[in-house]
Amino acid sequence: MIEAPQLHWIDWAIILVYLIFSIGVGVYFSRRAGSSTEEYFLSGRILPWWIVGTSMVATTFAADTPLAITEFVRGPGIWQNWFWWNMLLGGLLGVFLFSRLWRRAEVLTDNELCELRYSGKPAAFLRVFKAGYFAILYNFIVMGWVINAMAAIVSVVLDMDRWTAVWICVAIALIYAILSGFWGVVITDFVQFCIAMFGSIVLAIIAVNHIGGMDILLNKINTLAINSDVAHDTTLNFIPPIPDTGITTIGFWESPFSKFLVFITIMWWSHHGTDGGGYIIQRMSSAKNERHALIATLWYNLAHYALRVWPWVVVAMVSIVMFPQIPNDFQDLGVKVGYPLVMNQLLGPGLKGVLIVSFLAAFMSTIDTHLNWGASYLINDIYKRFIKKDGNEKHYVFAGKIITVLLMIVAAFVALKMQSISKAWEFIYAMGAGIGLVLILRWFWWRINAWSEITALATSFLMTIVLEIIAAVQTISSGGVYVLFEKAPVLFGMTLQVHHKLLIIVPCAIISWVTVTFLTEPEPFDRLTAFYQKVQPGGWWQPVIGNIDHTLQPVSSGFFPQWIAGIMMIYGATFGIGNIVFGQMQNAVLLFTIAGIGFYFVWNKTIKELDHQ
C-alpha cells in the first residue's frame, strides 16, 4: 500500500491563500455581475483580447486534461493526442471566420442565433432543444469528467475517500461560481492559467531529472516496450506507423493509422464545436470588437495546442517508468492516476502546494465556465424566452444562480458513475459528430434551414445513444458490470472505436440533413435578408442579397490562405516544441521556420487589416 505523505503547513498556506484570492475576486465583482444578464454572462462585451483569449485557454485546461493525456500516452501512445490536435483545423475556422461573425451577431448565447437565422416554430424548438441538450446532457458529462479527475487527484494527494473528494471539489467550485458571474470567471482565469502552466512545467522538469534526463527516460520506455505490454512500441510516436501492405481491410480499419486518418480528415469539421463551441463563442461575444475577438481566438489556439501539452506528455512518460503497473490501492481510478502518483511521489513541501493549487485553479476555471455557460442557456434560451418573459434583469440573474446550484449537484452524481475520462471525451464527440457541416454552412449558404440543423443533431445524438445502449446490453449479458462509457459496442465481430463510430454517424447524418433540407421549404427571404445584412459573411447568398450594400468586409474573402498560414504557424510551433523536448534540434529548427512564415502571413494579411478597429 502506498501512503500519501501528509501535506506540510506551507502547502496548506498556499492553498488557503489561493482560495481567499478567488473568493475575493468573486465578492469584488458580485455587484457588477448581478446588475444584468449581459454583465453576468458576457461582462458587458468590453473585454480585451488578452483577457478573452487567456480565459479560453484556462477554461479548456481542466483537472481532467493532464489525466486524459496520461491515459492516451500510457495507452495507444503520444499519437493518440491527434484526437484533439486535429481540432486545430476547425479551431482556425473559429479564428478567421467565426470569431468575427459571432461578434457581429451580438447574441447573448449561440442558441439565440437559431431565431436570428431561422424563423417560426422550428427555430424556437431548435433553440430550446439545443439549450437543454448542451446545458444539461452535454454539460453534465463534461462537468462529470472534470469533477471525476479532480476527485482522483484529491483522493491520491490527500488520501481520502473518493465520495468525500467529489463533494469537497463541488462545494469549492459552487461558492465561487455563484458569487462571480462571468466577470469573476475571466479575471481569475488569467491568474489560474499562469499558476497551472507554472505548476505543470515545474513538475515535468522535476520528473525528468528524477529519472536521470530525457535520454534515459526514452531508453527506459523503449525497454519497457520490448519487455512488456504495458508500454508498447507506439508510445513515443507523434504519428502512428502505416500498416504493412499485407494487412487485411478489416485489419487496416482496426489499426492506429486508420484512426489517425479519420481524425485529420473527418473529425475536425464534423463535430458540434466547429463554429467555435458554446463557451468559446461566449468569449468571442464578450470581446470589445471583431479585432479583439480574432486575436483572442488566435492566442487561444496557439496556447491550447502548442504551449500546454508537452509538460503533461513528459509526466505521463515518467509515470510509465515509475509505475509500469498502477498500485492496487488506486486500480479503481484507472491509468489516469499515473499523473497524480508522480506528483505525489516527487514533490516536496511548497511545490506540492503549488501543484495542488494549479489543479484546483484549472478545475475551478472549467467548472465555473460550464456552470455560467449552462445557466446562460437555461435562462436566456428557455426561462426568459418561453417561461417568464417579463422579469427584470436582477430576477434573471437570481434565477441563474439557483440553476447553477442544481447543475453542480447533478454533475457531481454523474462524476461518480464515470471511470475513464478519455472514453467520456470520445462519447461527447461522437454525440455531436454529424452536425459540424450544418453549423458552418448556415452562415454561408442561404438554403440551410432549421430542419437541417434539427435533423443533423438528432441523427448524431440518437445513433450515439443507441451504440452506447448496445455496449451496455452486451456488457451486462456477458456477466459484466456496466460502467458509463467504459466498453465499446461490438458489431459484426468488430469492436467499434471512436473513429469507427464517426465513419458510421457522419455519413448518415449528412445524408439525413441534406435530404431533409431539399424536402422542406427555405427560410423566408425577409429573415434571410435581415440575417445577411447584420453579419455579412460572404458565401452563397446570391438569391437573397440582391442590392444589399456591404458595409462590412465578408469574412470569407481570402480565407483559405489565412487558414493555411494558421496551420503552419500553430502546428509548426506545436511539433517544434515537441522536437525540442525529445532533443531533435534539426527538426525543431525546420518546424519553427515554418511557424514563423505562417505567423508573418497571419500578422500582415489578417491582423494588420483590422488595426483600424
Q: What is the tens place of the pLDDT at every residue in 314-370?
A: 999 999 999 988 888 777 777 888 998 998 899 888 888 888 888 887 787 788 888
Q: pLDDT class for 2, splitting at 50, 70, 90?
A: very low
Q: SS3 of 363, please? A: helix
Strand partners, 287: 47
- The more confidently predicted of residues 41 and 136 is 136
If phi over 0 gives left and psi between -120 and 50 gives alpha, with beta otherwise, what is residue 323? beta
Type and span of the H or E element at 410:
helix 393-415
Q: Say which range, 19-28, 126-135, 168-177, 328-337, has the weakest mean pLDDT.
A: 168-177
Strand partners, 484: 418
Q: Is the pLDDT of residue 599 over 90?
A: yes
How many other β-carbons are positioned within 10 Å of the β-carbon of residue 401?
Answer: 17
Cα separation, 24 vs 3, in Å, equals: 35
Average pLDDT over residues 62-77: 86
Complete DSSP assignment for 486-505: TS--EETTEE--HHHHHHHH
State the cell numbers at 23: 473568493
Q: SS3 of 327, please? A: coil
Q: SS3 of 319, please? A: helix
Q: pLDDT class for 230, splitting at 50, 70, 90?
A: very low
pLDDT of residue 358: 83
How many other β-carbons are positioned within 10 Å of the β-carbon of residue 426?
Answer: 19
Cα separation, 321 vs 231, in Å, equals: 9
Burial class (CB in 10 A: 0-12, 13-18, 19+), 389: exposed
Cα separation, 170 vs 185, in Å, equals: 16
Q: pLDDT class for 421, splitting at 50, 70, 90?
A: low
Give the side-chain half-sphere CA count within 13 A for 59.
28
- Between the alpha carbon of residue 564 and those of residues 76, 89, 188, 579, the distances in Å are 29, 9, 33, 22
If phi over 0 gives left and psi between -120 and 50 gives alpha, with beta otherwise, what is residue 485? left
pLDDT of residue 33: 66
Q: Is the pLDDT of residue 232 over 70?
A: no
Rg (CA), the chain: 24
Q: Is the pLDDT of residue 5 over 60?
A: no
The strand pair at 490-491 and 494-495 is best described as antiparallel
Cα separation, 572 vs 302, in Å, equals: 10
pLDDT of residue 53: 92
If we measure between CA atoms, which residue out of 444, 367, 341 comes closest to residue 70? 341
For 339, phi then psi, to 5°, come to -65, -55
Q: SS3 of 445, please? A: strand
Sign (positive or negative) of CA dihedral 531, 537, 542, 547: positive
Cα separation, 364 vs 375, in Å, equals: 16
pLDDT of residue 231: 45
Mean pLDDT score of the chain = 86
Cα separation, 602 vs 605, in Å, equals: 5
State the cell numbers at 150: 479532480
- Between the alpha carbon of residue 312 and those of residues 196, 604, 606, the distances in Å are 11, 33, 32
If we measure between CA atoms, which residue out of 232, 297, 288 comes closest to residue 93? 297
Inter-residue contact 302 to 54 (CB < 8 Å): no
- The more confidently predicted of residues 258 and 422 is 258
CA 88-485-145 angle, to 5 degrees, is 60
If we measure between CA atoms, which residue out of 378, 423, 361 comes closest to residue 141? 423
Inter-residue contact 114 to 292 (CB < 8 Å): no
For 490, phi then psi, to 5°, come to -115, 120
Question: 9-523: which CATH topology?
Answer: Sodium/glucose cotransporter (1.20.1730)
pLDDT of residue 571: 97
CA distance from start to end of the chain: 61
Q: Which residues contact 357 (CB under 8 A, 6 or more apart)?
A: 14, 15, 18, 195, 199
pLDDT of residue 556: 86
Strand partners, 445: 540
Inter-residue contact 221 to 320 (CB < 8 Å): yes
Q: Is the pLDDT of residue 113 over 90?
A: yes
pLDDT of residue 309: 92
CA 457-462-468 angle, to 5 degrees, is 130
Type and span of the H or E element at 54:
helix 49-59
For 478, phi then psi, to 5°, come to -90, 5
- The more confidently predicted of residues 343 and 43 is 343
